[in-house]
Structure 1
Amino acid sequence: MTMVVSGRTDFCQAFFILKALCLIIMPFLANETFRQIFQSSVEAIIMVDRDGRILLANPVSERMFGYEKDMLRGLLVEDLLPESVRSRHVKYREGFTAHPEPRPMGMGRDLVARRNDGSTFPVAVSLSHTNIEGELLVMAFISDVSERKKQEEALRRSEEQLLVYASELEKKVQSRTEDLNATIHALEKEVIERKRAEEDAHKALDRERELNELKSKFVSIASHEFRTPLSTIMSSASLIKQYNERQEGEKVDKHVLRIKSSVNHLTGILNDFLSLGKLEEGKVEMVKENFVLNDFLHEVKEELTPTLKHGQSLMVNEIPSVVVNSDQRILRNILFNLISNASKYSEEEKSISVTCSIENMHINFLIRDEGIGIPEEDQKHMFDRFFRASNAGNIQGTGLGLNIVRRYVELLNGKISFSSTYGKGSVFKVVIPM
């Protein structure tokens, strides 16, 4: 049973439906039970007979119209209306009695009721009916809409207030709907929360496993990578003492170089671990500045040439004098790592080239080598932490270099990619915004 007040869906629709249901089942209820429901209702309810005589009125209606207890009983329903509309109302009432059906009263009109003291107030009325033992009884549900009328009048003067009022009504309707579906929503929420908690637990567990794997790999790689250079340093230091006593200078110089090389290798490993730690913790800050790109490339070449293997050459192209704005320190770390890798994974007498160009306000670096290349099945993992290609063999390395390079490139909002042919070499491309 749907009831509408003054042409609108009544905002107390849920209550009206419940009330109508009470009327339908009323004949089946004990008289005392019905009276308890009727008397305890929070809405104004009056029951009238076919002639408009008030048979029952609940306490709310008595308070609403300003009558003492039981004073409404026996009055005509027209007594609750202003005198100016009573005669018309009789016709409306007789029309309803002739064709009774649940409906709102006064469709399209503003209804006004009269209190016992003569004052009037706006109301909304919904009608329903039932037959008990052949007698037609009409039930009127009455709401005092004084406040609503005041709000509507104020809202007509202000579009902004109208929007606020509409929003409030929408919230009320939504609130009623949510109340009716509270049990379902509560269950759905509980399921979602449990699922989210399970997902969070799985993520935490996966993260814990990942950290444990990283710790294991770190211990394994660190112990292996540190052991070899430390052994070299120890043995070379002992041999230097012997060669020094024999005054064999050339052999002393040879082992001094071995010690320096091992120390540099250890320094590189420590730098990799420190860089990774800072990057993981977000402690690497960029310091951008203007510098001449050509001068920067020559400095990189001068610093790295002495570290190359015997007979290897490093070729850097000349470009027009261009001033760029970037972080030199981070850019140097990127090129140092890629060029060092090119040298490490190439044989002696091989060449390494660095080609730089400017395109569409981006700096492009191509680092090309003639080394051992990367097996195709390993290429998708080359930027993973601690990953080393299957053909790396006994070549020293931690598997962190390319991972660190990728993170540095991302800090500069750049991109890195590579192509490689197994046994023939690799080309790494770095693109950095100017």
Structure 2
Amino acid sequence: MSRHWKDRLERQNRLFDAALSNMLHGLCMFDRDHRLILCNVAYARMYDLPPALAEEGTSRAAILDHCAARGCGPADIDAYLDIEREARASHAPAVRNIPLADGRVIKISHSPLDGDTYVATHLDVTEKVRVTEELARANDTLEARVRERTVLVWRQAEALERLLAHEREINDNQRQFVTMASHEFRTPLTIIDGAAQRLLRNRDRADAIFVEEKAVEIRASVARIIDLMESILVTGRHDAGEGQLSYDRIDLAELIRLCCERRSGIEGTHRFHLDLARLPDRIDADRSALEQVFTNLLSNAVKYARDAPDIHVRAWADEDTVVVAVEDRGIGIDAEDLPRMFQRYFRARTSTGIAGTGIGLHLVRQIVEMHQGVVEVASQRGRGSTFTVRLPRIRPIAASVPATGPLSA
């Protein structure tokens, strides 16, 4: 070989050594027996290799033992060796991030060469992995927060929709109530006005029977207006949370008889058959409140049983409870409407054409529940209805606190 080529080769070797020494990546080459052929400075520094272990011919096992002793070897030696096996099997580079025992993460790339030798690069990617993991955690946190916020927004939207639907229902109910109440007031007032006009026209020749008939019409219409006004006022006080029950020892049988007599005097069209002998002498209750309950139930029985004049009122008691059932044989209620009968302003389909506001039964349930009792309805269309009230015989302990309901001002 000429001098020129020798100088050129030496120059290339020097440049190659300089390039290896200045690489940021750790680089190493091993032969088929896993003995070191060469390594650069970055590789030796990465694993804190002494000069003796960076010399050609050093076994890979010696380097790994040194790293294990220094605490900078692979945390999983099998994962480390798998890279070489993967590269040899595929005859292509294999790359994997290998965690070290000291917490660093090294990206190792094995490339097989001819003669079962291989070259490997080692790059410290600890910071990159940390940042990537932090970004992944931040992304997971962000996604979780987005999901939480989305769920919250949906819940708020659903709550708002429920409120809006409730408001629409209230507005619809109010419009419906105003329409029905106007009709309810107009009808008895028209009757009163008509009766009064006939009395005036016939005042000089009216006999006692005629005057009595017109007086009965007027009284019935006035009672109808009073019942309506009382229901509206009591319901309003209940909604405002005003008033409380005024408990007393009352004769329930006597109260029911009084309500029936009053209804008979007003209507004069129906017969009330009473079975009250099994009631106790006294129970704890608010007399005026229960008077409203049975006045409403008897009024409904008459109203919705125009062609069935017999109304049965049965009552009995057990050790803790009194039960009163008001039964008519009137038009009855559709099965689909039964669950809604005590809702405010609701009127059954069978009540079409019959005057009413839909607040009477709602008020009945309010008052009964304030007494910690229960009211139920059983009915069949065309076969009549039975409304059953169950009340405690003795004032419940919780009822010693003012109730949220309306009744005694």
Query: Do the two structures share a fold, i.e. TM-score over 0.5?
Result: yes
2:367 aligned residue (389, 394, 408): 408
1:227 aligned residue (169, 179, 186): 186
What is the rounded CA distance, in whole Å, between the counterparts of 1:229 and 1:131 in structure 2?
95
Shift in alpha-carbon separation, 1:290–1:251, aligned structure 2, 3 A: closer
The structure having more radius of gyration, on CA atoms, is: 2
| 2:326 aligned partner | 367
Structure 1 position 100 matched with structure 2 position 73: yes
Q: CA deviation at 1:210?
A: 0.9
Residue correspondence of structure 1 range 323-338 to structure 2 within 5 A = 323-338=282-297
| 1:42 aligned partner | none
User: Is the CA contact 2:315–2:325 (under 8 Å) kept in the aligned structure 1?
Assistant: yes
User: Is the CA contact 2:278–2:315 (under 8 Å) kept in the aligned structure 1?
Assistant: yes
CA RMSD of aligned residues (A): 4.0
Unaligned stretches of 5+ residues in structure 1: 1-25, 29-46, 52-91, 104-125, 139-176
Q: CA deviation at 1:206?
A: 0.8
| 2:164 aligned partner | 205
| Count of residue pairs brought into register by the alignment | 299
Residue by residue, what CA displacement relative to the aligned partner does 1:45-87 show, whole Å, maximum 9, x if unpaired? xx99457xxxxxxxxxxxxxxxxxxxxxxxxxxxxxxxxxxxx
Q: Which amino acid aligns with 1:345?
A: Y
What is the rounded CA distance, in whole Å, between the counterparts of 1:306 and 1:292 in structure 2?
21
What is the rounded CA distance, in whole Å, between the counterparts of 1:382 and 1:290 in structure 2?
30
Residue by residue, what CA displacement relative to the aligned partner does 1:236-285 show, whole Å, maximum 9, x if unpaired? 22222222233544323322222221111111222222233233333352
| 1:127 aligned partner | 102
What is the rounded CA distance, in whole Å, between the counterparts of 2:195 and 2:49 in structure 1?
120
Structure 1 position 395 matched with structure 2 position 354: yes
Greater RCO (CA < 8 Å, at least 6 residues apart): 2
Q: Which amino acid aligns with 2:102?
A: L
Identity of matched residues, %: 26
Shift in alpha-carbon separation, 1:422–1:93, aligned structure 2, 3 A: same
Residue by residue, what CA displacement relative to the aligned partner does 1:86-123 show, whole Å, maximum 9, x if unpaired? xxxxxx998623873459xxxxxxxxxxxxxxxxxxxx
User: Is the CA contact 2:199–2:206 (under 8 Å) kept in the aligned structure 1?
Assistant: no
What is the rounded CA distance, in whole Å, between the counterparts of 2:137 and 2:370 in structure 1?
47
Q: Which amino acid aligns with 1:199?
A: E
User: Is the CA contact 1:49–1:137 (under 8 Å) kept in the aligned structure 2?
Assistant: no
Q: CA deviation at 1:346?
A: 2.4
2:176 aligned residue (198, 209, 217): 217
User: Is the CA contact 1:243–1:249 (under 8 Å) kept in the aligned structure 2?
Assistant: no
Q: Which amino acid aligns with 1:310?
A: T
| 2:390 aligned partner | 431
What is the rounded CA distance, in whole Å, between the counterparts of 1:209 and 1:195 in structure 2?
20
What is the rounded CA distance, in whole Å, between the counterparts of 2:222 and 2:123 in structure 1?
105
Q: Which amino acid aligns with 1:425?
A: G
Q: Which amino acid aligns with 1:412?
A: H
Q: Which amino acid aligns with 1:97?
A: R
Normalised to the residue count of structure 2, the TM-score between the two structures is: 0.60
Secondary structure of the residue aligned to 1:245 is coil
| 2:132 aligned partner | none
User: Is the CA contact 2:216–2:266 (under 8 Å) kept in the aligned structure 1?
Assistant: no
| 1:310 aligned partner | 269
Residue correspondence of structure 1 range 260-279 to structure 2 within 5 A = 260-279=219-238
Q: CA deviation at 1:339?
A: 1.5
Q: CA deviation at 1:430?
A: 1.7
Unaligned stretches of 5+ residues in structure 2: 1-23, 27-45, 51-64, 77-100, 109-118, 125-135, 394-409
User: Is the CA contact 2:326–2:386 (under 8 Å) kept in the aligned structure 1?
Assistant: yes
Normalised to the residue count of structure 1, the TM-score between the two structures is: 0.57
Shift in alpha-carbon separation, 1:238–1:178, aligned structure 2, 3 A: farther
What is the rounded CA distance, in whole Å, between the counterparts of 1:405 and 1:264 in structure 2?
18
Residue correspondence of structure 1 range 48-197 to structure 2 within 5 A = 49=48, 96-97=69-70, 100-102=73-75, 127-128=102-103, 181-197=140-156
User: Is the CA contact 1:355–1:365 (under 8 Å) kept in the aligned structure 2?
Assistant: yes
Q: Which amino acid aligns with 1:326?
A: A
Shift in alpha-carbon separation, 1:127–1:367, aligned structure 2, 3 A: same
